């Protein structure tokens, strides 16, 4: 079991603000789930949206700005495209519902997008033994991922883009929602993997 994951998780709720000018930044109070978020707005809800998109691997800035500018709009459009939503760069009720439900359990056979990082059996805080009891120091050849079991059940076989078929054998304290940590025997391979959004498919 890993004591500490590498992904910092921002827990967020998205809401929407309507009836504001698109020509200049607007500070407004938003009510969760019943207003629009679109380009030109500046408020706390945009900041939470950016944190949510960053956690999922779409918003590129480490620090949210709270301003819905071109970078945020581009991130929203990429998210909408990946989730078969209407691609308009606006967080309306449909996009909000998908974002809000995005941490639900993955369905077998369906490809989903996750934020991935990598770890080794010797990383700081690691003991080399997975949640299900596999000793990765004795079996460095194993293809293992750490998951949030609320989304991907432990013991599932998962196809991981760029890695291959692995078993969901481990968890991590900082893995929350649609995130995974990929096991590598060598630290150099883990560092090369880095932190990036990928697609996975739960096979069973």
Is the per-residue pLDDT at 173 higher than 50?
yes
- Residue 39's Cβ-count burial label (10 Å; 0-12, 13-18, 19+) is middle
User: Does the predicted model carry a pTM greater than 0.85?
Assistant: no
Question: What is the C-alpha separation between 119 and 55, in angstroms, rounded?
Answer: 18
Encode pLDDT of 174-202 as tens digits. 888 889 999 999 999 999 999 999 999 99
The pLDDT value recorded for residue 104 is: 59
Residue carrying the six token digits 């291959």: 164
Phi, psi at 3, each rounded to 5°: -80, -25
Residue 81 structure tokens = 């495209």
The pLDDT value recorded for residue 94 is: 86
The pLDDT value recorded for residue 3 is: 46
- Asked if 197 and 152 count as a contact pair (C-beta separation under 8 A), the reply is no
Instruction: Count the alpha carbons within 13 Å of 111 in the hemisphere toward its beta carbon.
Output: 8
Q: What's the average model confidence in pLDDT over 121-150?
A: 91
Task: Say whether 17 sits in a helix, a strand or coil.
Answer: coil
Encode pLDDT of 53-94 as tens digits. 887 778 888 899 999 999 999 999 988 887 778 999 999 888
Q: What's the average model confidence in pLDDT over 146-155?
A: 90
Average pLDDT for the chain: 80
Banded pLDDT at 34 (limits 50, 70, 90): low
The pLDDT value recorded for residue 19 is: 33
The pLDDT value recorded for residue 6 is: 40
Q: What's the average model confidence in pLDDT over 148-158?
A: 91
Q: What's the average model confidence in pLDDT over 99-128?
A: 81
Banded pLDDT at 143 (limits 50, 70, 90): very high
Q: How many other C-beta atoms can be found within 10 angstroms of the C-beta atom of residue 93?
A: 11
Q: Which of 196, 112, 108, 192 is nearest to 155 (CA)?
A: 108
Question: What is the C-alpha separation between 174 and 123, in angstroms, rounded?
Answer: 14
The pLDDT value recorded for residue 176 is: 81
Encode pLDDT of 35-53 as tens digits. 689 999 999 889 989 988 8
Is the per-residue pLDDT at 14 higher than 50?
no
Encode pLDDT of 108-121 as tens digits. 888 888 899 999 99
Domains of the chain: 26-100 (1.10.101.10), 111-202 (2.40.40.10)
Q: Which of 81, 88, 80, 90 is nearest to 20 (CA)?
A: 90
Bridge partners (DSSP) listed for residue 37: 91
């Amino acid at each position: 079991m890993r004591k500490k994951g590498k992904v910092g998780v921002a827990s967020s709720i998205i809401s929407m603000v309507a009836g504001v000018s698109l020509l200049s930044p607007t500070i407004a109070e938003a009510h969760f789930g019943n207003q629009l978020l679109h380009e030109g707005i500046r408020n706390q809800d945009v900041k939470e949206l950016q944190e949510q998109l960053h956690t999922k691997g779409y918003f590129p800035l480490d620090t949210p700005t709270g301003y819905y500018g071109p970078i945020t709009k581009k991130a929203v459009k990429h998210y909408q495209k990946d989730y078969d939503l209407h691609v308009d760069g606006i967080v309306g009720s449909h996009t909000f519902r998908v974002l809000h439900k995005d941490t639900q359990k993955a369905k077998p056979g369906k490809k989903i997008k996750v934020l991935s990082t990598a770890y080794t059996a010797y990383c700081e805080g690691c003991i080399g033994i997975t949640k299900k009891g596999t000793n990765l120091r004795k079996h460095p050849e194993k293809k293992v991922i750490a998951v949030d079991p609320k989304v991907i059940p432990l013991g599932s076989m998962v196809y991981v883009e760029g890695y291959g078929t692995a078993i969901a054998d481990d968890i991590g304290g900082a893995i929350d929602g649609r995130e995974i940590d990929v096991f590598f025997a060598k630290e150099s391979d883990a560092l090369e993997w880095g932190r990036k959004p990928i697609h996975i498919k739960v096979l069973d």
